[in-house]
């Protein structure tokens, strides 16, 4: 499990607390701020980037990547912000750790495009991988935060439509209960420098639109999970979404799903996003890579 490196996570958390709150910004300002990640964390020069076929997004390929398997990665950002620009560095790091190319779609965002736009776009990207000749049992779907919830929703939608399911899912700090009923939203709010219940309410309302926010394809915590593929769930011990992962892991195991939950002490929301500055972030990505290699062997 994670090595405790005094100072690293504390410095990152302290820096995050100096940034303007998303609640004080418009959606456009939030998106612009998040996408500045590409300046701080540029794509490594040995990662090949090419457009996705048929929809906005990128295909990121590390050197010597296997051609018989792939990752579909769904970025976080509350279903309202985030893009290839904010997440290509982390997606590329995961692809390198797994030795696979990564499809990173720019799925449509709320409030302009509420549910089910994101699920439809994620399913389209999954279908494109299947149509490319890669077998379902050689594909892993993963995502962080809202992308973690979207990962589960995509697998549920694929199951409901009779599509072959992927080899596994990887959920990183997943947002699974947009109704916001987890106790950690309150109990850990002083320790989480990145996510607030107010922000989650804002983005959740925008994404759900006129639909029931507990719809299983919006909040997968309320879904019938039977038949889903194996899951790796990584969550930080200091994030307000901790209870989403704890409750979901229990529900998945209760439904007969192979689910492995890792709670990383002291880590904050989507800490591997900071892997270039955080030892525990690099360790978590290496663990994800090992898991994906095992499930696509």
- pLDDT tens digits, residue range 35-66? 999 999 999 999 999 999 999 999 999 999 99
Does 133 reside within a domain? yes
Task: Look at residue 5 in the predicted model and tell me its pLDDT.
Answer: 46
Closest to 136 measured CA to CA, from 257, 232, 229: 229
Average confidence (pLDDT) over 185-194:
97
What is the mean pLDDT of the segment spanning 157-171? 98
- Is residue 172 domain-resident? yes
Q: Does residue 2 lie in a domain region?
A: no
Residue 290 lies in a domain: yes
**Residue 181: domain span:** 8-295
pLDDT per position as a tens digit, 92-148? 999 999 999 999 999 999 999 999 999 999 999 999 999 999 999 999 999 999 999
16 assigned to some structural domain: yes
If one counts the domains in the chain, the total is: 1
Q: Exactly one of 145, 173, 219, 245 is catalytic; which is it?
A: 145
**262 included as an active-site residue:** no
In a domain, 1, yes or no: no
Indicate which residue of 8, 58, 239, 262 is catalytic.
239
Please give the full DSSP string across the chain, using - where no structure is assigned: -PPP-TTHHHHHHHHHHHSPPGGGS-HHHHHHHHHTHHHHSPPPTTSEEEEPSSSSEEEEE-TT-EEEEEEEEE--STTTS--HHHHHHHHHHHHHHHTEEEEEE----TTTS-TTHHHHHHHHHHHHHHHTT--GGGEEEEEETHHHHHHHHHHHHHHHTTPPPPSEEEEES----TT---THHHHTTTT-SS--HHHHHHHHHHHHTTS-TT-TTT-GGGS--TTPPPEEEEEETTSTTHHHHHHHHHHHHHTT--EEEEEETT--TTGGGGTTT-HHHHHHHHHHHHHHHHHT-
Domain CATH for 19: 3.40.50.1820
115 is catalytic: no
Instruction: Look at residue 76 and tell me if it is in a domain.
Output: yes
Q: Tens digits of per-residue pLDDT, 133-142?
A: 999 999 999 9
Predicted local distance difference test score (pLDDT) of residue 6 = 53
- In a domain, residue 3? The reply is no
> In the annotation, is 145 catalytic?
yes
- Alpha-carbon span 170 to 148, nearest angstrom: 7
How far is residue 61's CA from residue 80's CA, in Å, rounded to a whole number?
Answer: 26
pLDDT at 3: 47
């Amino acid at each position: 499990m994670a090595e405790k490196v005094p100072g690293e996570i504390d410095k990152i958390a302290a820096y995050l607390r100096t940034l303007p709150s998303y609640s004080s910004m418009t959606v456009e300002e939030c998106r612009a701020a998040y996408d500045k990640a590409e300046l701080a964390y540029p794509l490594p020069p040995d990662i090949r980037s090419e457009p996705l076929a048929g929809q906005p997004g990128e295909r990121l390929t590390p050197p010597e990547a296997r051609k018989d398997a792939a990752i579909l990665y769904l970025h976080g950002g509350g279903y309202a912000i985030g893009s290839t620009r904010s997440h290509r560095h982390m997606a590329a790091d995961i692809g390198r750790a797994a030795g696979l190319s990564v499809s990173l779609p720019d799925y449509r965002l709320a409030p302009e495009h509420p549910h089910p736009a994101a699920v439809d776009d994620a399913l389209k990207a999954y279908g494109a991988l299947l149509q490319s000749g890669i077998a379902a049992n050689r594909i892993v779907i993963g995502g962080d935060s809202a992308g973690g919830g979207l990962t589960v929703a995509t697998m549920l939608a694929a199951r409901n439509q009779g599509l072959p399911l992927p080899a596994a899912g990887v959920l990183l700090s997943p947002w699974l209960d947009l109704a916001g009923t987890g106790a950690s939203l309150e109990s850990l709010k002083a320790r989480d420098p990145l996510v607030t219940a107010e922000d989650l309410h804002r983005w959740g309302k925008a994404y759900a639109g006129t639909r029931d926010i507990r719809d299983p394809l919006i909040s997968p915590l309320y879904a019938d999970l039977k038949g889903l593929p194996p899951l790796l769930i990584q969550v930080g011990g200091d994030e307000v979404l901790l209870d989403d992962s704890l409750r979901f892991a229990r529900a998945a195991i209760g439904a007969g799903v192979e689910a492995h939950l890792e709670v990383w002490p002291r880590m904050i929301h989507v800490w591997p996003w900071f892997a270039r500055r955080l030892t525990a972030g690099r360790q978590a990505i290496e663990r994800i890579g090992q898991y994906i290699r095992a499930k696509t062997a």
